[in-house]
Structure 1
Amino acid sequence: MADHIGSRQRQLLELLLENKEGLCIDDMAKALTISRNAVQQHISVLELEGYLQAGELNKTAGRPVRRYVLTEAGINSFPKQYAWFSMLMLGDLKNEIGSEAFQRYMSKLGDNLSQSYKYRFTGKPADERREELLKIMDDLGFKTGSKTDLDSNDPTTIKAYNCIFHDLAQKHNEICQFDIALMTSLLEKDVELVECMAKGSGACCFKILNK
């Protein structure tokens, strides 16, 4: 769960997680044994941060009652095991099809992704294609450096300072073929990985080959 959420707010979110249909302020106050005003204050903070929202107004024999429900952000604030599950799934796939086929599969994924970006490269010369690729990689989270980086202006080199699947690549280095295939397809030039963070380097360095 998000670290900045207070303990009482965490309890409130857990309560709503167990009651997906939503709860009114009185129900939450009773369940947490705190005042109605305290619940309202916590709700105001959590609603402002997007973790919950007001649901439908339920009409009863007395006054109308507003229920509060978790948003997608609220649900996603609870722990997820995406990396663990990805590791489990990829490990099983690699065992099932073998390392070489797994490597080809990662290349295919990279090439498939490149197709959605091809329109951004149409008619552009090599230097503009490289700049466009850097923008795409930064959008994906690779962090390709800044203007103060001496290597950032080298037209034959691309450096990425963040491996977006670092843990996975440490276990299955065939995953690096995804990056290579993506770059090769978009630049329409062969690309070689000469330094790799998953193997202990400070950055992933890709060399654009003049072929």
Structure 2
Amino acid sequence: MGSTRNAVLKFLLNHQRSTINELARAVKISPISVRHHIARLETEGMVASAEERHGVGRPRRVYYLTEAGMEHFPGRTIRFTNRLLDELKETLPAEQFARLLDGMGDSAAADLAAASDLPSMTLDERLKLLKNWLTKEGFSVQVQRNENELIIKETSCPYFYVGQNHGEVCSIDKALIAKALSADPQRTSCLLSGDSHCTYTIPMAAIKPAAKP
């Protein structure tokens, strides 16, 4: 496979829903050339597209890797993971399957708590810890804050391709955020719903301050 097409696939690996213009800027070729490469990748079943809501006006078309596209990268086991979860979902009652995925989130949150002294940390320290932890998990994270609320945006998600079949995996990052901030984050947008990123919001008043020494 050519280097340009590999570059397109690699960019889509880390930016799951990208436009032609975004791809053109990333791989440094013209949009027309990108369309040519994308068309071939779609024919091979490695890339697919969808319309995405983007503010006012017409939806834009974004491109993303398919399961076959993900398997192009060494160490990616999306197909195996999906098959395993398919079997579990067929074998277990729905409530028990959901508890299993919730348990994975709780386990990840427990690891975060065990690696730090959350009660004594300031909000800035907890946000830094959370961002580093999510980054290690494979998320691309942006944090915004104003007087009223905290906003956490995930522009890429390591569970995106599994989540297309098993949306329950979204409980994992939510559990990490809840543990780090001792608050219940509300998901207001989601990559799996066609949004450009996942967004969690938390009222500033709901975040517990650090314990006094």
Partner amino acid for 1:170? Q
Residues 188 and 201, structure 2, Cα contact 8 Å, conserved in 1: yes
1: CA distance, partners of 2:122 / 2:170:
26
Residues 105 and 176, structure 2, Cα contact 8 Å, conserved in 1: yes
**1:82 and 2:74 aligned:** no
1: CA distance, partners of 2:112 / 2:140:
18
- In the alignment, what sits opposite 1:134? 131
1: CA distance, partners of 2:74 / 2:157:
22
2: CA distance, partners of 1:152 / 1:104:
31
Instruction: Name which of 174, 178, 198 aligns with 1:180.
Output: 174
2: CA distance, partners of 1:167 / 1:134:
22
Q: Classify 1:84/1:3 alpha carbon distance in 2 versus 1 (closer, same or farther; 3 Å).
A: farther
- In the alignment, what sits opposite 1:168? 162
Partner amino acid for 1:106? L
SS for the counterpart of 1:130 is: helix
Q: What are the residue-to-residue correspondences of 1:17-28 with 2, within 5 Å?
A: none
2: CA distance, partners of 1:80 / 1:138:
18
**Offset at residue 91 of structure 1 (A):** 1.1
Tell me the TM-score normalized by structure 1: 0.55
**Offset at residue 203 of structure 1 (A):** 0.3
Larger Rg: 1
Instruction: Name which of 168, 175, 198 aligns with 2:192.
Output: 198
**Offset at residue 162 of structure 1 (A):** 0.5
Partner amino acid for 1:202? S
Partner amino acid for 1:152? Q
**1:125 and 2:122 aligned:** yes
Residues 144 and 159, structure 1, Cα contact 8 Å, conserved in 2: yes
Q: Classify 1:79/1:138 alpha carbon distance in 2 versus 1 (closer, same or farther; 3 Å).
A: closer
- In the alignment, what sits opposite 1:57? none
**Offset at residue 183 of structure 1 (A):** 1.7
RMSD (Å), alpha carbons = 2.6
Report how many aligned residue pairs link the two structures: 133
2: CA distance, partners of 1:80 / 1:157:
32
1: CA distance, partners of 2:131 / 2:75:
30
SS for the counterpart of 1:116 is: helix
Q: Classify 1:134/1:81 alpha carbon distance in 2 versus 1 (closer, same or farther; 3 Å).
A: closer
Residues 103 and 177, structure 1, Cα contact 8 Å, conserved in 2: no
- In the alignment, what sits opposite 2:103? 108
**Offset at residue 3 of structure 1 (A):** 8.0
Percentage of matched positions with identical amino acids: 25
Residues 191 and 208, structure 1, Cα contact 8 Å, conserved in 2: yes
Q: Which runs of 5+ in 1 are unaligned?
A: 5-76, 146-150
Residues 142 and 161, structure 1, Cα contact 8 Å, conserved in 2: yes
1: CA distance, partners of 2:181 / 2:2:
41
Q: Which runs of 5+ in 2 are unaligned?
A: 4-71, 208-213
Q: Classify 1:3/1:116 alpha carbon distance in 2 versus 1 (closer, same or farther; 3 Å).
A: farther
Q: Classify 1:144/1:95 alpha carbon distance in 2 versus 1 (closer, same or farther; 3 Å).
A: same
Partner amino acid for 1:164? P
SS for the counterpart of 2:120 is: coil
